[in-house]
Structures are given as structure tokens and as C-alpha cells.
Amino acid sequence: MSILIKGVTLDGHKKDIFIRDNLIQKIDDSINLSANVQISGDYKAAIPSFINGHTHAAMTLLRGYADDMHLQDWLEKKIWVAEAHMTEEDIYCGARLACLEMIKTGTTFFNDMYWFWKGTARAVQEMGIRAAISAVFIDFFDKKKAKEQIEINMKLFEESRNFGDRVTFTLGPHAIYTVSEGSLKWAADFARDHGLLIHVHLSETQEEVENCIRKQGMRPAEYLGKIGFLGPNVIACHGVWLSHKEILLLKKHGVKVVHNPISNMKLAVGKAFPYERLKTAGVTISLGTDGCSSNNNLDMLENMKFASLLQKYHHKDTTALPAREAFQMATINGAKAFGLNCGEVKEGALADLALIDLQRPELTPHFDLYSDLVYSGNGGCVDTVICDGKVLMANRRVENEETILEEARRCAFDLIKRASHSNG
């Protein structure tokens, strides 16, 4: 299988890109090789496709279902009630919708944490993108639940081998306020023994920090350091309330941090992400959307804009988090965090890339690609998406998209009907 992209703009120059199997084999001014698929690069720019560092894909089903509520009411009366009624089939439908939305907005890899692992894995396998998928591990400090969760995870790890190499099994201990110390230690050991990533929420709210200080006599990252949880395989999401000392501790252990600017602002976490301090410390920072009930979409370009504007606003400094850096958070930094051979369009890299439609009014006149994409563009500017050497979207068309939308709609309304019946 081979793809030849003719005359596409790459880093400001017209190039041909030749893809064989799942790799970018050659990039040159002119390539005259025959290919199974030829794509015209006229008025198009080639970019690495995006890496969504933190999401709960199937939450697309709850998009717009409950907004503008107090956090606790929102969780207890709406989200948890609906989630309690979800089946593996619901998760599959929701995750498929998420994959569709990601493809349509230029994302080909996401880091997920949600219920019914196999539902999400099936969707990813079918839709042709990549994902690191964890099952939510929550034991609420209950020994019996902890044992169950450990067994479920060990079994899923074995079964995950059946899902092909675009699906990566990871561990997902939810957070320090939902998972016991014993389980956190188990996750750290199991991940080390099997070379797995650990996906965890960390320091999202002030309450989390205060409770940890009360209970453990130290801050969340310090507590995780003390119990031997931190390491280069840990993907810590949010990190809004990290102290300077904690930032240095994360750097020391090589922990990767994922920033979710839109979710943080929507859920009113009360502080701006300490981007400058993390960057100065040399921590790898990538970008995530979080789930669709706290965002409410999966558009990484929109996230880049919010990330940049939040820092400018917070520091009263127009030079804070420039467009190009925001773009790198969603591409090369993500690849680094998840150990992927992509995040740049270059020879030898995985053929995971997107073509941007330069005929879009919001990208015209087009002085600077990064300014245009981050400050003016949106996911709708993506024309073509290639992942693992396969065209997943051409001319903004994805196979079966109407069916995926129809089934997700049916699934979501049916779920809410079941949830509201049981709720009286």
C-alpha cells in the first residue's frame, strides 16, 4: 500500500510526500513513483496530525446534556447517574462518535480513561486511529473493590493483545482521592513490570490539594513521590494546582503533564495552569481536551487557542505561550509523552498526518501557518487525515459517518431515558 501526495506545502515549501505501508518513506521536491493512491496537495498544507493527551472518549454521549451547573450537582445528579446506566454497547457508540469527531478535526491519537475498556478499544480498532486506553480504576479505599479492580485490569491487559498495535493498554488509577495507596502502589509495580503507561488525574482542584494535606500531611505529587508511584511512564493530567516544589519533583521523575485548558476553565478550577514554571523546569507538557461533558468537543485546534490565550491573560503578557508552542504541545510533545514515532512530518516517521485546506476564508491571506491554525483556524479546516498509512478522511468525508452519528444519537437518548426513569 502506498500514497503519493503531490505538491503540498510543508514548512512553507512545495513538496511531494511518499508513504509506503505505515511510514513516510520519502519527502522531496518532486517524487515520480507510482502509488496506489495519489492526492493533490494544491492549496493544502501538510502537518502532523494531533495527539489528544487526555480524554474520556465515550463521554461524547453526554455532550451538552448537563452544563452550567455547580460541579457537585453536575456530577452527582447528572453525570454519575447516566454513567451508572452505560453498557459496553453505549461506550462503543460514544467512542466511535469521538473517533469520528477526532478524525474530522485532525486527531489520530488519544489517551483515554473510561468504563468498559473493550467498547472503546473496538471503536478505535474499527475507525483506524490510535489510542492509549485505560480502564478507570477506582476503589474508593475499599479492599474488596481494590482486589476486583486489580483482577479486571490484569485480565484486560491479557485481552488487549487481541486488539492490534494501534490500541495500547494503559493503567488508569483515577486520582488520589478515589484510589487507595495499596492500589496506587500495585499500579506502579504492574506498570513497571510490563512496560505500561499510567494515566492519572493530578492536582486539578484546590480541594484535592487541601484534602491531601489534611490526610497525608503533604501535597498530592509529594504523596505520589513518597509511595513510589512517580516515573517517566506516568501521564499526569491537569496539574493546575502544582507547587514549585512539586513541579521539580515531577521533573526529577520524568513525569509527563497534560494541560486541559478548556476543561479547566469550564469546570472553574480557579487557577491558570503553571505553564511557564513547568516549561522552565523542563517537564514535557502536552495538550488534552478532557471528556465531552467538560469541554464540550474534541477539537485540538480550539484547545491550542485556549491554552495560549489563558497564559496571555493570566500573565498579562501577549508573548506568553506563542502559537507555535501551543501547536507543538499537541504534536511533537504528545509524541514524546506517549513514546510515538510521529508528531512531525519527516522521513522515517509514522504516516500520521493531516492536510489543511488553505482555501478556507479563516486561513486567508495566510502569512503564518501556526498563527492561522491556532488563533484563527478550527477543526473544520482539516481536509484529509492519514493514520498508520491509511486515508481515514478525504475531502472531509469519513466512511460511514451518517451511520455513526445516527447510532450515537439513538444510543445517547436511550441512555438518558433509562437514567431518568430510574431517577424517579
DSSP letter for 420, please: H
What CA–CA distance (Å, rounded) separates 330 from 197? 18
Place of cell 495500547: 168
Residue 239: C-alpha distances to residues 24, 208, 285, 290 (Å): 35, 11, 10, 13
Grid cell listed for 173: 488509577
Residue among 363, 285, 294 nearest 330 (CA): 285
Nearer to Zn ion, 9 or 170 (CB): 170
Nearer to Zn ion, 290 or 352 (CB): 290
Whats the size of the chain, residue-wise?
424
Report in angstroms how near the CB of residue 113 gets to Zn ion at its nearest: 7
Q: Which residues contact 144 (CB under 8 A, 6 or more apart)?
A: none
Grid cell listed for 84: 451508572
Preceding omega of 365 cis (within 30 degrees of 0):
yes
Nearer to Zn ion, 160 or 293 (CB): 293
Report in angstroms how near the CB of residue 122 gets to Zn ion at its nearest: 21
Report in angstroms how near the CB of residue 242 gets to Zn ion at its nearest: 16
User: What is the distance, to the nearest Å, from the Cα of residue 151 to the centroid of all Cα atoms in its chain?
Assistant: 26
Report in angstroms how near the CB of residue 267 gets to Zn ion at its nearest: 10
Nearer to Zn ion, 15 or 259 (CB): 259
Report in angstroms how near the CB of residue 314 gets to Zn ion at its nearest: 21
Nearer to Zn ion, 292 or 385 (CB): 292
Report helix, strand or coil for 317. coil
Grid cell listed for 83: 454513567
Nearer to Zn ion, 302 or 383 (CB): 302
User: How is 181-204 classified by DSSP, letter by letter?
Assistant: HHHHHHHHHHHHHHT--EEEEES-
What φ, ψ does residue 319 adopt, rounded to 5°?
-90, -5
Nearer to Zn ion, 110 or 327 (CB): 110
Nearer to Zn ion, 246 or 290 (CB): 290
Report in angstroms how near the CB of residue 114 gets to Zn ion at its nearest: 9
What CA–CA distance (Å, rounded) separates 19 from 38? 10
What φ, ψ does residue 169 adopt, rounded to 5°?
-80, 130
Chain position whose Cβ is nearest to Zn ion: 290
What CA–CA distance (Å, rounded) separates 102 from 291? 12
Report in angstroms how near the CB of residue 386 gets to Zn ion at its nearest: 28
Q: Where are the alpha helices (DSSP H) in 227-366?
A: 244-253, 261-266, 275-281, 300-315, 323-329, 332-338
Q: Which residues pair with 287 in a beta bridge?
A: 259
Report in angstroms how near the CB of residue 294 gets to Zn ion at its nearest: 7
- What is the C-alpha R_g of the chain? 21
**Cα-Cα end-to-end distance for the chain:** 55
Report in angstroms how near the CB of residue 204 gets to Zn ion at its nearest: 8
- Helices 181-194 & 143-159 angle (0-180, nearest 10): 20
Nearer to Zn ion, 128 or 288 (CB): 288
Nearer to Zn ion, 128 or 291 (CB): 291
Report in angstroms how near the CB of residue 342 gets to Zn ion at its nearest: 23
Q: Confirm if 376 and 362 have CB atoms less than 8 A apart.
A: yes
**Which residues lie near Zn ion (CB under 5 A)?**
290
Report in angstroms how near the CB of residue 272 gets to Zn ion at its nearest: 18
Nearer to Zn ion, 293 or 308 (CB): 293
